[in-house]
Amino acid sequence: MAAGEKPVVPSHPKASEERLDAIRNEAAATGKVVTGAGRVYANAQIPGAEDYYNLPVLKPPTWTWEVPLYFFVGGIAGVSSVIAFVGHLFHADPPMVRVALWIAFVGTGLCPALLISDLGRPLRFLNMLRVFKWRSAMSMGSWILAAFGGCAFLALATNELILYGIQNPFLPPLRWVGEFTGAVTGLLLASYTGVLIGATAIPVWYENRRLIPAHFLTSGLGGSSAILELFGFLLPATQILGFAAAGIETVVGVILESRLGRVDAPLHHGKSGWTMRIAGTLEGPIALLVRILWHGSAKGRYAAAACFLLGALCSRYAWIWAGRASAHDPQALFESQHAAMTASRAARRTP
Amino acid sequence: MPGLGTTYGRGGATTAPSDVVHSDAILIMGSNMAENHPVGFQWVIEAKEKHGAHVIHVDPRFSRTSAVANTWVSLRAGSDILFLGGLINYILQNNLDFREYVLHYTNASVIIPETFKDSEDLGGIFSGWDAQKKQYDNTSWLYQGVKADEGSSDHHDNAQSGGHSQHGIDSSTDLSTYEQDLTLQHPRCVYQIMKRHFARYTPEMVERYCGVSKEAFLNVAKIYTSASGPDKTGAICYALGWTQHSSGVQMIRCAAMIQLLLGNMGRPGGGILALRGHASIQGSTDIPTLFDSLPGYLSMPKFGYSSKDLASFIRANKPRTGFWNNFDKYIISMLKAFYGDSATPENDFGFNWLPRVTGDHSHQAYWLDMMDGKMDGLFVIGQNPAVAGPNSGMERRALGKLKWLVVREMVETETATFWRDSPEVQSGELKPAHIGTEVFLMPAAGHVEKDGTFTNTQRLLQWREKAIDSPGDARSENWFIYHLWERIIAKAKLDLRPRNQGLLALRMDYAIKGERREPEAEEILQEINGWTIADHKQLTTFAELKADGTTACGCWIYCGVYPERGRNRGNERDPKDEYGHGWGWAWPLDRRVIYNRASAKPDGTPWSERKKLVWWDEAAMKWTGKDVPDFTATKPPTYVPPPGAEGDAALAGDKPYILHADGMGWLWVPVGLNDGPLPTHYEPLESPIRNPMYSTQQVNPAGLNRARPGNEYAKSPDARFPYVLTTYRLTEHHTAGGMSRTLSHLAELQPELFCEISMELAAELKITHGEWVTLVTARGAIEAHALSTSRMKPLTIEGKTVHQVGVPFHWGYNGLVKGDIGNDLIAISEEPNVRIMETKGLLCNVLVGRRQENAAKLKEYHSIMEGKTA
Amino acid sequence: MTHKAAFLTDATICIGCKACEVACKEWNEVPEDGLVWSGFSYDNTQALGASTWRHVMFLEQPATAGPQQIDMENPFRWIFLSDVCKHCANSGCLEACPTGAIVRTNVGSVLVQSDVCNGCGYCVVSCPFGVVDKRHPDGRAFKCTFCYDRQSAEMIPACAKACPTQSIRFGELDELRKEADVRVAELQHRGYTDAQVYDPLQTSVGGTHAIFVILGQPDAYNLPPAPEVPTIYLKSAWTSALVSALVLAAIVCAAFLF
């Protein structure tokens, strides 16, 4: 049994002899039965060989509330570094650059704290840096986060020192180094989390593995520019970034709605589905619409920014919950694998 | 036990589980072998997978054994004699018996006197029935030409016998003078009587009353009977599915007869595997904890003329012929072991210090006495009657009538805590303040915390070395009995009344070891094996025992396990051959397949190369082979006993059943059983139908149903209890759950009580799979989860649907996992030979919902039972 | 020691006794995993997990087991199978582990080193068979160790030792693979037309060190018909991540240029 899981001993309405007869005959004839209310009487086994008592094959993610929050914060922190670097490069408003660097730096503090809190043995967090494994997205992510931390700190510290008035010739180049490496590692930080969940055994995650990194990155983009807007930096750049992020998220939302396989059911049904839809609507069409309708007013931009941030945060939770729901659905797994087997057999047959 | 004892001479499994790899067919009936003997079952699997044996499982439920059998047939619980009788009839009608074997090795040809009347002639009872005493006089069952022994009238009093001694054989009568017809044509020869007796057990009968289709039955019959003859053998495995019935012994008798008819006894892959229930329960009847048996299945003396002195007792128990002729050697050697130097020829070797049986002292009987307030105290050692006793509710109430109770256990069992949390206390019916029983819970050591032997189902003694000290105050049984004895002796020394002489005469001088002062268990085993008194040299075989007081031997059948100082054969672990010689030691004399003389033809050559086991070596002038011969090694096959010969010398060289006075396998049992020389079908004490064989005799007349308030019975049939109930065990738990419900690794495998019902019954009663239901019988009611499954099959009996309901009995109110007690449903009853209760084939009803929800309905049942409502 | 240690578990000779579950728990001191009655035939264990390393399944199916003769109106069979960690050749949990706690041993098994594991939970979602899980309140991940300690002392795993019918056999992977094929051929010959070996050699898992002889489809046993080691998804996921990252960088540049 999965930890903390309680098995479902269902309570169902009473059956009738006719229904029971029908089930038995169908099972004998086809080896399969339509699942539903009648199933329970037959010791939950009459359905032919579809699965083992509808028990999950996979184990659901064990991560708690810290992890989706980390995705959210990490994405924002990572893209903030990019904004800081590019902004600095193209002579953007220095106070904005400074705030962006601070956002990144605060992220470097919050992110590890969240992750360490989620660990089963938090005191052993340093074991994350025992090895460096290309093939483990989490190993890569640990190193990325560590590197990002260093770079973001370098960028921030050098910038603050320069702003404070320290006239050291090494500071500016170091600042560029920090900002550049911070931007690169920041991009990785904001996108690797999509790879992290995409490269797992959970069907709804691996089936959407090409979409999720882009989706997470976009959330980071829109999120960091939204925070900058909320700090009062109502610049054209942040407006453009806001539009771009909400626009892309709208497209992502449409793509997700169009996925109709059983594997993608968690995206539309249940707790994860509804959260996903509401979140997607907030960070997509609503943020976009608000920004369009009130592009001139500050309050409009604040509202759009807030919508986006709320949607992005909820969306992270939705994805984790979707993973849990997906792990609990054995039929989704079997369907996806049988489809894959048929496809590969078909592929092999056509020369 | 007496089923096999009377048929063959010894009441135990005739072979080892590993021998079934030689079987061509294996019939498992009255047993769920894979479930309850999973380790022994490996050989059934090996037989099936590696040697092509055909495994047949006949059982009311489709269980874990059925899942891997080649053939499974369901049947109505309690209808086994109809089925087996059907097999016997099939063999006889189609002349499928192994004729040469039957002629020479069984009493098929023996002629029975005219005075015998069969149950077919008398509407369900045999001749000799005394309706007042409710017992049989077996004079008319004796062989023609044989006289009953008049000097032992009290010897046959059923009320005092538990059927275990001498494996049930009554040894007083001289059966060696009989008449035969070797053409088997004489109308009163056993063969012809059997043919007439079983004539009505047709396939149609089986279909109509067992619920087994003719095709299925004939399929089983064909397969099993084909495993017979010089080249083929079949084995039968049974367990409590047969023993726990009011006609249990006769069910076993049917199987025993089938094995004789098919010539399967004493041959590789043949035999009967009586699968005993516990790891050492064979040992607990060998060195018995039974009221009617002394070690080695010697009779316990009964109060009466035959036991007034040792000579009378020996006369009553020592037949002229066969191995029991040595009875005096066995009993005297045993008395020397008990009493050591205090036992002398002058005081009859202390014979009068042995207590006498004065009535039925079986579990059931004394528990009812307890219920009636006639008992002061009780020791309960390694048993949990509050859960495992029949009509356990009544047993728990009875415990409250004792003045004191000592429970020796590893865990705090329900028997120890009945006074504070039994269902009767929890419901408020009984109050702890009103229960006057003083309860002592003495902690017991576990099996790895003490030295000693286990004797398992194949009569194999295996020594266990203590691995670790028991914790705290927990101690072994040896320690407890020894130290209790020490304290009692201290008091007895100050009280010199004659009644204490026996106590003071007991020989208990074992070496006492260590701080805990533990008696040396190996010395006890040495004493059980025996020695010559003069030089204290260990004996090597029971043939060395003497009747003059020069030998001591605690248990003659174990003689040979410790043949010399320092050599404990029970502790040997070097198997040298396929029969396991060199690993442990089997009684008697390490013979693994008993009656193995029958694996050779009368002339001493093997029946076939494929099935050779033991044969006569003409050159060496002795029996030899793959097993230790269960025969006098130097007696040639052609040996003819001279007139007047006694004991083993009185048996010819072609008589394998050496414990019997006539040396033959008994298809017909002239003495030793209380309910007939042949099996005949009676219904269980509660049945959904009237007895199809006899309208005037519904149940076994010689049994005791002990009906009384609190132990009521349903009528047969009874509209209030329409379903057949059977109780059973699960692999995951151990009997009353003391050792399994307290251990999380086992408790989590089967955490809650459930009952198994067919899907059809679930649909009919609108029971959702998994929901709580209440099972109710005339004794009590319990609640359990309903497991509805295809594995329970409704049967068609007399054209009507009969449902069977099954429930395991492992749960109680203590431990990590708790549940209602299955045995609250069954009755206290006594099978006529061994006093075992009927736990299967009773009647019940099933109510939807928990006990609490059904309180009103249950009150109705209860008051009907008490006669308060019509 | 066995070079490439493996289990062959044969459903057709399993008697469902659960000695394997108990022996494993006793030897490895695995804690109790829930005292809950499931109603799923005799299976109250329900699945492998952090505190269940051998799991006996009970399938009541409306089909016949080869030539078995059952006196029932409709086809029926009761199948038992003892499930265990597959110790994959290409192992999802091993690849995923960021601390290096999960390693391949010298007998070819996959071992979680409990003194290194910090309970990050990534192995849990990376196992295509749903075997490894985190144990609460301990916090670390646990699964079958292949009785590595016993193997190091020239003993066979506890479950194989306890199995009375040799349904669980332990030995060299190549030999057991051959045995499995021979066994399935024999079963087919005897009339068990749906007997097959479960050993996903054709997938990215590349075969497992615990192979099974089963009757019927793997789905009925909750064995994935085409399990994949999730590292096969890395390429497409990283590609997407990097391309998106470049696009994002371009967008940011564009935003600041205008």
Q: Is C201 on the interface with A (CB under 8 A)?
A: no
Task: Find the mean pLDDT for residues C213-240.
Answer: 96
pLDDT for the residue B147: 75
d(CA A212, CA A203): 13
For chain A, positions 286-345, list CB contacts with chain C under 8 A. Answer: 323, 327, 330, 333-334, 337-338, 340-341
Burial of A176 per CB tally in 10 Å (0-12, 13-18, 19+) = middle
3-state SS of B35-104 is: HHCCCCCHHHHHHHHHHCCEEEEECCECCHHHHHCCEEECCCCCCHHHHHHHHHHHHHHCCCCCHHHHHH
User: Band of the pLDDT at A27, cuts 50, 70, 90?
Assistant: low
Neighboring chains of A (3 or more beta-carbon pairs < 8 A): B, C
User: Which of A10, A15, A43 is nearest residue B787 as measured by Cβ atoms?
Assistant: A43
Would you state the pLDDT for residue B163?
67
Q: Is the dihedral of CA B691, B694, B695, B699 positive or negative?
A: negative
Measure the CA–CA gap between A25 and A16, rounded to whole angstroms: 14
Nearest chain C Cα distance for residue B601, angstroms: 35
- Rounded Cα gap, residues A315 and A76, in angstroms: 14
| pLDDT at residue number B360 | 87
Average pLDDT taken over every residue of chain C: 96
Cβ contact, residue pair C80, B789, below 8 Å: no
Beta strand pairing status for B404-409 and B377-381? Answer: parallel
Q: What is the pLDDT of residue A343?
A: 84
A225-254 residues touching C, CB cutoff 8 A? 236-238, 240-241, 244
Q: Is the CB of A17 less than 8 angstroms away from the CB of B762? A: no
Query: Chunked in runs of 10, what are the mean pLDDT values of chain B (870 residues)?
Result: 91 93 98 96 97 97 98 97 98 97 97 96 96 92 81 49 62 77 96 98 98 97 96 97 96 98 97 90 91 93 91 91 93 97 96 92 93 96 95 96 97 96 94 96 96 94 96 96 96 92 94 95 97 97 96 97 97 95 96 97 97 96 96 96 91 94 95 95 97 96 94 94 97 95 96 96 95 96 96 96 97 96 96 94 96 92 63
Q: Does domain A66-329 have CATH number 1.10.3720.10?
A: no
Whether residue A138 lies within 8 A of chain B, CB to CB, comes out as no
Phi, psi angle pair for A116, to nearest 5° = -65, -40
pLDDT reported for residue A10: 37
CB contact under 8 A, B764 and A16: no
Counting DSSP H helices and E strands in chain A, the numbers are 12, 0
- Among B759, B768, B789, beta carbon nearest to A12: B768
- pLDDT band for position A351 (50/70/90)? low
A20 in reach of chain B (CB within 8 A): yes
DSSP lists the bridge partners of residue C196 as C214
* The pair of three-digit structure tokens given for residue B423, joined into one six-digit string: 């269902």
The amino acid at residue B71 is T
Q: Which of A85, A126, A135, A136 to mutate to test the interface with C (most CBs of C within 10 A)?
A: A136
Q: Cβ of C45 under 8 Å from any chain A Cβ?
A: yes
Comparing alpha-carbon positions, the chain B residue that sits nearest to A39 is: B769
Cβ distance of C19 and B769 shorter than 8 Å: no
Chain-chain contact of C136 with A3 (C-beta, under 8 angstroms): yes
CB contact under 8 A, C15 and B68: yes
Beta-carbon separation of A42 and B770 below 8 A: no
Interchain CB distance below 8 Å, B768 and A44: no
* CB neighbour list of residue A299: distance below 8 Å, 6 or more residues apart: none
pLDDT at position A7 is 39
Q: What value does the mean pLDDT take over residues A283-312? A: 94
Helix (H), strand (E) at residue B728? strand B723-728
**Which pLDDT score is estimated for B166?**
65
User: Which residue has tokens 């874990």?
Assistant: B64
Residue from A337, A336, A201 nearest C230 by CA:
A201
Give the pLDDT of residue A50: 83
Tokens for A99, please give them: 């705030």
Q: State residue B157's pLDDT score.
A: 52
B758 touching A, CB under 8 A? no
Q: Give me the pLDDT at residue B779, please.
A: 94
Asked if residue B588 has a cis previous peptide bond (ω within 30° of 0), the answer is: yes
Nearest to C118 among A60, A127, A183 (CB): A127
Chain B residues touching C65 at Cβ < 8 A: 67
Q: Which of B64, B216, B747 sits opposite C15 (nearest CB)?
A: B64
Integer-rounded Cα radius of gyration of chain B: 26
CA–CA distances in Å: residue B403 to residues A13, B390, B391, B437: 52, 22, 21, 5
Q: Report chain C residues whose CB lies below 8 A from the CB of A334.
A: 219, 224-225
Q: Is B347 exposed, middle or buried (0-12, 13-18, 19+ CB in 10 A)?
A: middle
Query: Which of C17, C35, C67 is opposite residue B38, by nearest beta carbon?
Result: C17
Contact C159, C84 (CB under 8 A): yes
Cβ distance B653 to B635 under 8 Å? Answer: yes
**Kind and range of the H or E run holding B393:** helix B392-399
Q: Does A10 touch chain B (CB under 8 A)?
A: yes
CB B572 within 8 A of CB B552: no
Chain A hits for B765, Cβ within 8 Å: none
How large is the average pLDDT for residues A252-262? Answer: 94
How far is C195 from C218, CA to CA, in rounded Å?
Answer: 11
Calculated CA dihedral for residues C160, C162, C163, C169, nearest 10 degrees: 20
Chain A, 36-55: which have a CB under 8 Å from a chain B CB? 40-44
Structure tokens given for B567: 């050599």
Tens of pLDDT along C30-81?
999 999 999 999 999 999 999 999 999 999 999 999 999 999 999 999 999 9
Give this complex's ipTM: 0.95
What are residue B681's phi and psi, to 5 degrees? Answer: -80, 125
**Which residue type sits at A278?**
I
Residue type, A199: A
Amino acid code (one letter) for B68:
V
Subunit contact C76:B745, Cβ cutoff 8 A:
no
Among partner residues A9, A10, A17, which is closest to B763 by beta-carbon distance? A17
CA–CA separation, B757 and B794 (whole Å): 9
Amino acid at B856: A
- Chain C residue closest in CA terms to B752: C37
Shortest distance between the Cα of C89 and any Cα of chain A, in A, equals 15
- 3-state class (DSSP) for residue B500: helix
Nearest CA in chain C to B785: C39
The residues, any chain, with a CB within 8 Å of residue B292's CB and separated by 6 or more, are B160, B161, B162, B163, B164, B165, B299, B300, B357, B361, B362
CB contacts of A40 in chain B (<8 Å) are 768-770
Pairwise CB contact (< 8 Å): A63 & C121: yes
Chains that touch C (3 or more CB pairs under 8 A): A, B
Position A47 pLDDT exceeds 70: no
- Chain A residues whose beta carbon lies within 8 Å of the beta carbon of residue C245: 187-188, 190-191, 217
How far apart CA B110 and CA B189 sit, in angstroms, is 5
C30: which DSSP letter? P
Q: Give C35's contacts in chain B (Cβ within 8 Å).
A: 744, 747-748, 751, 816-817
Which backbone phi and psi does B665 adopt, to 5 degrees? -75, 135
B789 touching chain A per CB within 8 A: yes
Split at pLDDT 50, 70, 90, the class of A45 is very low
**Which run of H or of E encompasses B713?**
none
Query: Which backbone phi and psi does B586 adopt, to 5 degrees?
Result: -100, 140
Report d(CA B632, CA B614) in Å as an integer.
Answer: 12
Interface of C with A in 231-250 (CB under 8 A): 231, 233-234, 236-245, 248-249
In 3-state terms chain A splits into helix, strand, coil percentages (rounded to 5) of 75, 0, 25
* Cβ-Cβ contacts under 8 Å, A11 against chain B: 768, 771
From the CB of residue A94, how many other CB atoms can be counted at a distance below 10 Å?
12
